């Protein structure tokens, strides 16, 4: 369908402004496209305002309004998020049909299915990414459209039909001009989507079937993160109904990384995804403190699950030697034997600790009841019990009101929270772990939570469960109060109606009132608060939420305990894991994919590797690879697609802060971003010599110069990078630091450096 059909009045451009017919044609299409977008945006905003302005309405109208608001506001968010560069390509088929490809799909009219713009995730758009001269997939031509806002600035055509004679003057013989332009563009401190430049190997991963666990391995710069994010967008498009309800979770290594990738999915029209670090996956807790490497390694070990189980069992205590309970001038003794029987019977229920407490309470109360009934009801002559069942029940009820009974139960089988259990364990871990491990993890009860603590909290929550009897009782009281209030409203309505019609004839008085057509319970239901939170928002507040799909970036860094947490969030085991074992730096990291997955899916997982480095120039990649080859001669880095001709440099200095300041002035690009990567203990001194650079806080990646340590830099990229004191890094951390740059790399040191850097 020709774009002229959609051109709004006055949209025509003069030949003076666009003398090139092809540019003019595409500009006309872009104008027509945005005319439709503007009409959709206007209709959407009006619909939302109109819906919200309905005020008090009957229940059915309220439900219809809520659905309308959700649909319309979702569309509005998508249109606003992808406003720039909405259309980026066109495919011309051998049949003479052409399709424009964009970030979201736009139809010609609400009543028609005719697309003006094809969503990049639709099957018909796939040849845009996969077609080659050898396998053209029925394409004559593939066109890349570059725009600045709503203005077309460049076209790049690739001829896929070798017999095609028509030329547009925009042919790109190499077919990679758009990709290289994207790779060489200045960084902004925020990751951009790669929807315009997805390569064939990446497309196959993005569109892989939605089932099981897929592992995407790749070295620095291979686009692992971008592929994972675009896979999330594709799955949300392909399985909208399922994933909109269950949500997609994306787990990143640190808050700075999540901020860095935070704009990618909105730019693709997807806003219903939860992004979080492991430290943010226990509702009500936000981990801010840091562990020593030794403590993180101990807390992350798989056997910590058994350790915490032992801690819980030890809180199910026995009296030492007895507990005396006074009741109506009688003293009842709970000794070890009696309590042991009650404890074992409660454990036999195979319930979490807090849920099993109800069984323990019942056994203790029954034991005390039998004890007291035998004492006061036994016939002294024949030894028979003179109490009937009603008397026994009365005794049990009276015992259940005795505070001393509940004090004893609380002492023997206390209600526990995950926070209290883990805090108490970490304050006194002796006896549960080896002495050196206890010394590593011991800390005061009042200390802030660390990322490595969160999987322990989650494990504790699984072991403890919830005793929801109090919550259910409170909810029942609230419900009864609402019903009583509703009944009062109906009674007032009925009384008012009776008074109104008492002087009228019988026919008029038979008019139905609210009291006649609805009871108090249904009336109360209509005024209950609706939950308007998105699935992602509800998931963030619910520890037991089961996600439709989970994507984990830098997956090799997670500890066995962190994997236990994530697997609970994914009972269907629908996951995409991306990472690089060569970049494992966390002391508790698993590193091996088999070690990570075998406990959960055995060998039922798919592995694929990205082998092309799009970020790091070959000059820098050669230096970084030499660092790893020093310890692993067989290491093969990903192959860089480009060379800048700029070799990295390594310099020694006696004045580190001064040399860093000079190097920053040398390396800072005219446009783009520079990262100074240095050990954390040097940050304050270095920041004092760098204008506008701060130390100690989460880095603002949108600033021209940022100061990071190697682990904060994981997953990020910058135009230029300055690595400080490389001799103080582990091999993996140094490899990460050296591979963050897209253009230039410098290294400064005061002491010794790895052998591979001495020849640079």
Q: Quick one: pLDDT at residue 502? A: 55
* Residue that the structure tokens 């693709």 belong to: 268
Q: Quick one: pLDDT at residue 18? A: 52
Among residues 7, 185, 192, 4, the alpha carbon closest in space to that of 82 is found at 192
pLDDT tens digits along 288-345 = 888 999 999 999 999 999 999 999 999 999 999 999 999 988 899 999 999 999 999 9
Give the C-alpha separation, 122 to 456, whole Å.
42
DSSP label of 557: G
Give the C-alpha separation, 619 to 17, whole Å.
42
Residue 5: is its pLDDT beyond 50?
no
**CA distances for 271 relative to 123, 677, 693, angstroms:** 22, 32, 32
Q: Quick one: pLDDT at residue 72? A: 54
**CA distances for 710 relative to 505, 635, 678, 751, angstroms:** 88, 21, 7, 18
Are 610 and 216 in contact by the 8 Å Cβ rule? The answer is yes
pLDDT tens digits along 219-246 = 999 999 999 999 999 999 999 888 888 9
Q: Determine what percent of the chain is predicted with pLDDT higher than 90.
A: 59
Largest CA distance in the chain: 122
Q: Which helix (H) or strand (E) holds 156?
A: strand 151-159
Give the C-alpha separation, 362 to 355, whole Å.
12
528 in helix, strand or coil? Answer: coil
Residue 627: is its pLDDT beyond 60?
yes
Q: Which of 64-68, 484-488, 575-579, 725-729 has the lowest mean pLDDT?
A: 64-68
Mean pLDDT of 668-674: 92
Q: Please provide residue 692's backbone torsions phi and psi, each rounded to the nearest 5 degrees.
A: 75, 10
Among residues 129, 159, 114, the alpha carbon closest in space to that of 141 is found at 159
Q: Quick one: pLDDT at residue 9? A: 33
How many of the other CB atoms lie within 10 Å of CB of 506? 7
Among residues 3, 183, 27, the alpha carbon closest in space to that of 615 is found at 183
Residue 266: is its pLDDT beyond 50?
yes
Q: Determine what percent of the chain is predicted with pLDDT higher than 70.
A: 82
Q: Which two tokens stand for residue 509?
A: 């008085």
DSSP assignment of 581-648 equals GGG---TT----HHHHHHHHHTT-EEEEEE-EESSS-HHHHHHHHHHHHTT-TT--PPEES---S---
Q: Quick one: pLDDT at residue 523? A: 56
pLDDT tens digits along 332-353 = 999 999 999 999 999 999 999 9
Q: What angle do CA 534, 535, 539 make, to 5 degrees?
A: 120
Q: Which two tokens stand for residue 130?
A: 């996969």
Q: Quick one: pLDDT at residue 539? A: 93
Q: Residue 405's Cα: distance from chain center in Å? A: 46
Residue, of 219 and 478, whose pLDDT is higher: 219
Residue, of 6 and 474, whose pLDDT is higher: 474
Mean pLDDT estimate for the chain: 86
pLDDT tens digits along 441-472 = 999 988 899 999 999 999 999 999 988 666 66
DSSP assignment of 465-499 equals ---THHHHHHHHHHHHHHHHHHHHHHHHHHHHHHH
Name the β-bridge partners of 640. Answer: 613
Residue, of 758 and 205, whose pLDDT is higher: 205
Q: Quick one: pLDDT at residue 106? A: 87
Burial status of residue 143 (CB atoms within 10 A of its CB: 0-12, 13-18, 19 or more): buried
Sheet holding 705-708, edge to edge: 649-652, 741-749, 718-724, 674-677, 705-708
HSE-up of residue 374 (Cα within 13 Å, Cβ side) = 7
Residue 83: is its pLDDT beyond 90?
no
How many of the other CB atoms lie within 10 Å of CB of 213? 20
Are 552 and 577 in contact by the 8 Å Cβ rule? The answer is yes
In this structure, what is the dihedral angle of CA atoms 87, 92, 97, 100, given to the nearest 10 degrees? Answer: 0
DSSP assignment of 668-733 equals --SSS-EEEE--GGGHHHHHTTSTT--SSS---TTSSEEEE-TTTTTT--EEEEEEE-GGGS-HHH
Are 642 and 629 in contact by the 8 Å Cβ rule? The answer is no
Kindly tell me the number of DSSP H helices and DSSP E strands found in the chain: 30, 21
pLDDT tens digits along 579-599 = 998 888 887 787 789 999 999
DSSP label of 450: B
Q: Quick one: pLDDT at residue 11? A: 38
Q: Which of 35-44, 532-541, 619-628 has the lowest mean pLDDT?
A: 35-44
650 in helix, strand or coil? Answer: strand
* Residue that the structure tokens 């005793």 belong to: 467
How long, in residues, is the chain? 760
First to last CA, the chain: 58
Q: Residue 42's Cα: distance from chain center in Å? A: 32
Q: Quick one: pLDDT at residue 621? A: 96
Q: Please provide residue 217's backbone torsions phi and psi, each rounded to the nearest 5 degrees.
A: -105, 145
Q: Quick one: pLDDT at residue 4? A: 33
- Kindly indicate the confidence band of residue 68, based on its pLDDT and cuts at 50, 70 and 90: low
């Amino acid at each position: 369908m020709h774009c002229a059909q959609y051109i709004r009045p006055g949209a025509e451009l003069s030949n003076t402004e666009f003398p090139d017919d092809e540019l003019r044609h595409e500009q006309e299409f872009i104008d027509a496209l945005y005319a439709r977008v503007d009409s959709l945006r206007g209709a959407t905003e009006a619909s939302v305002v109109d819906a919200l302005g309905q005020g008090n309405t009957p229940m059915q109208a309220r439900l219809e309004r809520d659905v309308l608001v959700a649909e319309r506001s979702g569309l509005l968010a998508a249109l606003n998020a992808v406003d720039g560069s909405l259309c980026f390509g066109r495919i011309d088929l051998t049949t003479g049909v052409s399709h424009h490809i964009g970030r979201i799909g736009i139809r010609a009219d609400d009543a028609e299915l005719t697309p003006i713009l094809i969503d990049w995730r639709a099957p018909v758009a796939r040849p845009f990414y996969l077609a080659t001269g050898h396998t053209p997939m029925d394409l004559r031509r593939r066109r890349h459209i570059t725009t600045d806002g709503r203005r077309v600035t460049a076209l790049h055509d690739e001829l896929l039909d070798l017999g095609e004679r028509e030329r547009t003057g925009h042919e790109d013989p190499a077919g990679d001009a758009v990709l290289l332009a994207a790779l060489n563009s200045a960084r902004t401190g925020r990751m951009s989507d790669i929807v315009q430049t997805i390569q064939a190997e990446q497309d196959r991963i993005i569109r892989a079937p939605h089932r099981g666990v897929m592992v995407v391995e790749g070295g620095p710069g291979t686009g692992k993160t971008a592929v994972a994010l675009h896979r999330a967008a594709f799955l949300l498009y392909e399985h909208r109904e399922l994933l909109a309800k269950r949500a997609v979770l994306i787990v990143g290594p640190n808050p700075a990384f999540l901020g860095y990738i935070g704009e990618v999915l909105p730019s693709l029209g997807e806003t219903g995804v939860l992004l979080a670090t492991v430290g943010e996956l226990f509702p009500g807790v936000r981990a801010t403190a840091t562990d020593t490497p030794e403590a993180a390694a101990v807390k992350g070990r798989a056997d910590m699950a058994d350790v915490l189980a032992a801690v819980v069992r030890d809180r199910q205590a026995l009296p030492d030697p007895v507990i005396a309970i006074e009741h109506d001038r009688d003293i009842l003794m709970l000794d070890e034997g009696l309590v042991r029987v009650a404890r074992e019977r409660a454990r036999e229920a195979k319930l979490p600790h807090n849920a099993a407490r109800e069984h323990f309470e019942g056994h203790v109360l029954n034991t005390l009841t039998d004890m007291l009934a035998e004492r006061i009801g036994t016939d002294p002559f024949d030894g028979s019990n003179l109490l009937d069942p009603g008397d026994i029940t009365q005794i049990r009820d009276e015992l259940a009101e005795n505070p001393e009974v509940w004090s004893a139960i609380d002492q023997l089988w206390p209600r526990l929270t995950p926070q209290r259990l883990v805090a108490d364990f970490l304050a006194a871990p002796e006896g549960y772990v080896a002495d050196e491990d206890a010394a590593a993890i011991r800390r005061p009860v009042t200390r802030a939570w660390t990322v490595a603590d969160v999987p322990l909290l989650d494990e504790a929550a699984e072991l403890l469960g919830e005793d929801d009897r109090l919550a259910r009782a409170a909810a029942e009281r609230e419900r009864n109060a609402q019903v009583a209030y509703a009944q009062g409203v109906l009674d007032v309505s009925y009384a008012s109606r009776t008074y109104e019609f008492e002087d009228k004839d019988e026919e008029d008085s038979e008019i139905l009132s609210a009291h006649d057509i609805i009871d108090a319970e249904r009336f109360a239901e209509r005024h209950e608060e609706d939950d308007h939170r998105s699935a992602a928002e509800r998931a963030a507040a619910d520890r037991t939420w089961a996600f439709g799909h989970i994507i984990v970036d830098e997956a090799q860094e997670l500890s066995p305990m962190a994997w236990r947490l994530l697997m609970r969030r994914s009972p269907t085991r629908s996951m995409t894991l991306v990472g690089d074992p060569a970049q494992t730096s966390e002391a508790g990291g698993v590193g091996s994919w088999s070690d990570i997955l075998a406990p959960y899916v055995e060998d039922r997982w798919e592995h694929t590797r990205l082998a092309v480095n799009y970020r790091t120039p070959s000059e820098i990649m050669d230096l970084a690879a030499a660092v790893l080859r020093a310890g692993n001669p067989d290491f093969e880095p990903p192959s860089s697609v480009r060379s800048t001709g700029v070799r990295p440099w390594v310099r020694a200095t006696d004045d580190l802060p001064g040399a860093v300041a000079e190097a920053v002035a040398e390396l800072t690009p005219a446009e783009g971003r520079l990262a100074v990567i240095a050990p954390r203990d040097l940050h304050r001194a270095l920041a004092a010599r760098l204008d506008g650079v701060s130390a100690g806080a989460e880095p603002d990646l949108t600033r021209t110069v940022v100061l990071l340590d190697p682990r904060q830099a994981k997953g990020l990229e910058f135009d230029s990078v300055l690595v400080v004191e490389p001799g103080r890094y582990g091999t993996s951390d140094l490899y990460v630091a050296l591979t963050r740059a897209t253009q230039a790399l410098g290294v400064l040191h005061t002491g010794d450096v790895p052998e591979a850097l001495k020849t640079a």
